[in-house]
Amino acid sequence: MNNRAVISTAAAPSAIGPYSQAVKVGNTVWISGQIPLNPDTMDVVPGGIEAETRQVFANLRAIAEAAGGSLDSSVKINISLTDLANFQIVNAVMSEEFTEPYPARACVQVAALPRGVQVEIEAILAL
């Protein structure tokens, strides 16, 4: 694929496996699932689900900007939570991060996430 570009920024956590932070093909960017890692220390941020969610969106924002977009370029968001009881907290943080029209979204509960975190979010952008 000649029109495939890997997006990478030091402002978001480096990949902790065999994947890219994001891949851009044409005007579409697929951002890998982000967990609440501080990009400077690669440690999970303390403070519970709200702090974790804010860090995840900061990581997504940094990658979106490195790709030439913003969070508002998102057309689809996929959220994984280890406890759906945190759904309203994540919704509240998400409502601060986006302006209307909001992206399409899915939210599911999963058994576990890497590093024992409570939330992981991925995004698809249209630039």
Residues involved in catalysis: 107
Residues 6 or more apart whose CB falls under 8 angstroms from that of 111 comprise 82
d(CA 43, CA 4): 30
Classify burial at 20, counting beta carbons within 10 Å of its beta carbon; exposed 0-12, middle 13-18, buried 19 or more.
middle
